[in-house]
Chain A
Amino acid sequence: MSAHDHAHGHDAHGYGPHHVTSTKTFVSVLLVLLFLTIITVAASRVDFGAANLLIAMLIASVKASLVIAIFMHVKWDTAINKLVFLSSFLFLSLLLIFTLSDQATRGDDDPLRTVKLPVDNGFVQPKPHAENH
């Protein structure tokens, strides 16, 4: 019963030591998040070509990291909780990388799209359905 007895000791009541984030930290994070929102809108006004999507996702990722690390206390959480939550982003990246790289290296078989030549890989593209409309 030693573990049980210990639980009745004053210090062991509650959850043991837990991290209480200071108000100052929370306010600073909020200000950075609001500032980055302005940057997001400003960056979308400038034409960087294909880089616009990358820039927008980069800023969003910085904002998301702040929310996860500070607001969601992941920075002070246990290793197993970090592993469980952060691994979901690893699996998500697998889904995105394979789906998008597959799409990017394909030919075009949609008659409604602007004409793009099929990738010459020896594979015969199926003919579009004649007179769709």
Chain B
Amino acid sequence: MSHDHGHSVVVPAPGPGFLPHTVAHHFDTPKQEFQAAKLGFWLFLATEILLFGGLFAAYFYFHQVYPETFKVGGAQLNWRLGAVNTIVLLLSSWTMAMGVRSAQVSQKGKLLMYCALTVLGAVIFMCIKFVEYQAKFDHGLLPVFGGMHDALGQQLQWYTDHDGVMAGVPHGNLFFSIYFTMTAIHGLHVIIGAGLIVWIMFGAAKGRFHANYFLPVDLVGLYWHLVDLIWIFLFPLLYLVP
């Protein structure tokens, strides 16, 4: 089994308007390349589950200790905006699944359209998130440096809760620490995911993805579904605090 270096396996384009794919030289077959990449990506997604899992553990732990704090904190959030964002992410997850499907059956135009719709979903999601964050900042509910002073002895205006919405419950900043940490890390994933989908669109426009080679579309799709997966749990836990 001596493979000649420089004679990589080439996967042909399925028709005009598409580009052939050269299998990386350290793989024998396209299938081997596909399965190795997929296994690696599932491993990465497993670490993502554990990253968010630690934060969910923090949520459940403190929810168990201070249920009233979480009830009052959750009531400060606009559940209607949270519900709209849930629907936006579910729809965008569907458009991404349809995008991967379009790549699998070599429909370049549809792949581009579904990717564009998915990015649109990401933009709408982040705009709503921005409006929500802005309202919380205005109430002084960003807790990061609560009670800290700057070099001149001036108190940093991070968690002031100057409208006293959390005054009646212990450790009011706890709920908002968890809210901002979880939604910000999730939002970061939304931004990275949208960026990756735009990158897919550049490749798709050149005809790189088709029935014989759609690996990057598949992997970016999995990443986007993970973003949706996390939000499915974040919405009821943060906005509809049980």
Closest Cβ neighbor of A68 among chain B residues: B229
The answer to whether B225 and A67 touch across the interface, beta carbons within 8 angstroms, is yes
Q: List 23 A-B contacts (CB under 8 A).
A: A3-B29, A7-B29, A7-B30, A12-B29, A12-B30, A13-B30, A13-B212, A14-B211, A14-B213, A15-B212, A20-B101, A30-B91, A40-B240, A60-B232, A64-B233, A67-B225, A68-B229, A71-B97, A81-B38, A96-B56, A99-B57, A99-B61, A103-B65
Of B43-51, B140-148, B177-185, B198-206, the one touching chain A: B43-51
With A20-B104, A41-B83, A84-B42: A52-B242 Cβ-Cβ less than 8 Å: yes
Q: In the docked arrangement, what's the CA distance between A70 and B142, Å?
A: 38
Q: In the docked arrangement, what's the CA distance between A40 and B87, Å?
A: 12
With A34-B90, A71-B93, A103-B61: A20-B105 Cβ-Cβ less than 8 Å: yes
A113 CB contacts on chain B under 8 angstroms:
65-66, 170
Task: Kindly provide the distance from the CB of A31 to the nearest chain B CB, expressed in whole angstroms.
Answer: 10
Task: Kindly provide the distance from the CB of A37 to the nearest chain B CB, expressed in whole angstroms.
Answer: 5
Q: In the docked arrangement, what's the CA distance between A29 and B31, Å?
A: 29
Q: Which of A29, A91, A112 contacts B50 (CB 8 A)?
A: A91
The answer to whether B9 and A84 touch across the interface, beta carbons within 8 angstroms, is no
B42 CB contacts on chain A under 8 angstroms:
81, 84-85
List chain B positions with a Cβ less than 8 A from chain A. 1, 3, 9, 11-12, 28-31, 34-35, 38-39, 42-43, 45-47, 49-50, 53-54, 56-57, 60-61, 63-66, 79, 83, 86-87, 90-91, 93-94, 96-98, 101, 104-105, 170-171, 211-213, 215, 221-222, 225, 228-229, 232-233, 235-237, 240, 242
With A7-B9, A56-B236, A85-B45: A92-B50 Cβ-Cβ less than 8 Å: yes
With A81-B38, A88-B50, A89-B49: A96-B60 Cβ-Cβ less than 8 Å: yes
A8 CB contacts on chain B under 8 angstroms:
9
Closest Cβ neighbor of A74 among chain B residues: B42
B39 CB contacts on chain A under 8 angstroms:
80-81, 84
- Number of A residues whose C-beta is below 8 Å from B? 58
Closest Cβ neighbor of B34 among chain A residues: A15
A71 CB contacts on chain B under 8 angstroms:
93-94, 96-97, 225, 228
Number of cross-chain contacts by CB at 8 Å? 154
The answer to whether B235 and A34 touch across the interface, beta carbons within 8 angstroms, is no
With A3-B29, A18-B104, A99-B61: A37-B9 Cβ-Cβ less than 8 Å: no
